[in-house]
Amino acid sequence: MHADYTGQGFDQLLDVIDKIKNRPDDRWIILSAWNPSDLNLMALPPCHMFAQFYVANGELSCQMYQRSADIGLGVPFNVASYALLTYMIAQVCGLTPGEFIHIIGDAHVYKTHIMPLKEQLQKLPKPFPILKINPERKDIDSFVAADFELIGYNPHQKLDMKMAV
């Protein structure tokens, strides 16, 4: 296995899809962003680092482990990203999306995020939007932005939070 990212390495995503389609009971349906040999080359090690997929009763579920979680800014994007990935994989495998389970090692709130997060907690939740994905897409590499539509997305007003550096 190569780790030089020139297209000669191991395609984890295609391996996940192959296992889901051909060995759905496999306990090794895993994506890992943790590459110890490259940690010293990274500005920051991956926060969302490990995902395991499960197939049961025609549903695909994803359990993701996140070693470090910026509750104000990072977690919302991580949840949306892995939930969307689960929907996409489910579609190309002919399954229904199931659960997204999120495990966090070190959850933290930066001081500058405390007030905006307190404000967010005072807001009533709005109904979830419906995600529509182009049903003709059957290959994970064929998706384009126009294949996704959120119906009924009515967000609260933006909260101002700066990324901690």
77-116 pLDDT, tens per residue?
999 999 999 999 999 999 999 999 999 999 999 999 999 9
Give yes or no for residue 1 having a pLDDT over 70: no
Tell me 38's DSSP state: G
Q: Is 47 a catalytic residue?
A: yes
Residue 54: predicted pLDDT: 98
Q: Which of 45, 46, 47, 102 is catalytic?
A: 47
Residues 81, 87: Cα–Cα separation, whole Å: 10
User: Which residues pair with residue 150 across a beta bridge?
Assistant: 131
Are 89 and 128 in contact by the 8 Å Cβ rule? The answer is no
Residues 163, 97: Cα–Cα separation, whole Å: 31
Are 59 and 75 in contact by the 8 Å Cβ rule? The answer is no
What percent of the chain has a predicted confidence (pLDDT) above 90? 86
Other beta carbons within 10 Å of 49: 17
Phi, psi of 109 (to 5 degrees): -120, 125
Mean pLDDT across the chain = 94
Residues 51, 33: Cα–Cα separation, whole Å: 9
Structural domains in the chain plus CATH codes: 12-151 (3.30.572.10)
